[in-house]
Amino acid sequence: MSQAIRLRRVLIATLILTATMTTFPVGAALAAQVSEGSLRTASTSTKVCPVEWRKGSFYVKKLIRCSAHFYGVNADKALYIANRESHFRPKAYNDSSCAKGIYQHLCVYWPGRAKTYGFRDWSAFNARANIMVTIRMVKKHGWAPWGG
């Protein structure tokens, strides 16, 4: 009987590992890069959270959740602030302040922030760039620029 129990445990562990690897394949690939010491900023732009945000707000939220979990930021707060700032609209724009994108980065600050966090020459209207730059900024400095 103990042989059957051990076999079941091994089978369950294998299923869980397989499900995790297929659900989060980028995490495994990124972990391999980190262990090799070859993690580059450029990989952040395309390999972390490969969610097609152009399909709509559901996917924008999915990208926010994924990047928040990846960088260890509170996903609920990230979603709350994105909703407050732009209602998850990548093309959101504020004429009076020249704020752009999901997290409403001011035009004057965006180029420097994008460059610092690995998205040089990317538009603030690109949801992937806007979200990743914001989440990485928050990881380092907190939510203070967004009043949090």
**Sorting pLDDT into bands at 50, 70 and 90, what band is 6?**
confident
Q: What is the pTM of this model?
A: 0.69
Give the span between the Cα atoms of 33 and 39, in whole angstroms.
5
Residues 101/86, Cβ–Cβ less than 8 Å:
yes
Tokens of 4: 């059957």
For 29-73, write each residue's pLDDT tens digit.
Answer: 444 444 433 334 444 555 789 999 999 999 999 999 999 999 999
Q: Which residues of 112-125 are buried (b: 16+ CB within 10 A; e: fewer)?
A: ebbeebbbeebebb
> Which residues share a beta bridge with 106?
99
Residue 132: pLDDT over 80? yes
The CA-CA-CA angle for residues 90, 132, 142, to 5°, reads 110
- H-type alpha helices, the chain: 2-23, 25-36, 41-46, 57-71, 75-86, 110-116, 127-141
Amino acid at 75: A
**Sorting pLDDT into bands at 50, 70 and 90, what band is 11?**
confident
Please report the pLDDT score of residue 37 as a whole number: 39
Q: Any long-range contacts for 108-114 (C-beta under 8 Å, 24+ apart)?
A: 113/137
For 95-129, write each residue's pLDDT tens digit.
Answer: 999 999 999 999 999 999 999 999 999 999 999 99
Q: Regarding predicted confidence, which is higher, 144 or 32?
A: 144
**Sorting pLDDT into bands at 50, 70 and 90, what band is 25?**
low
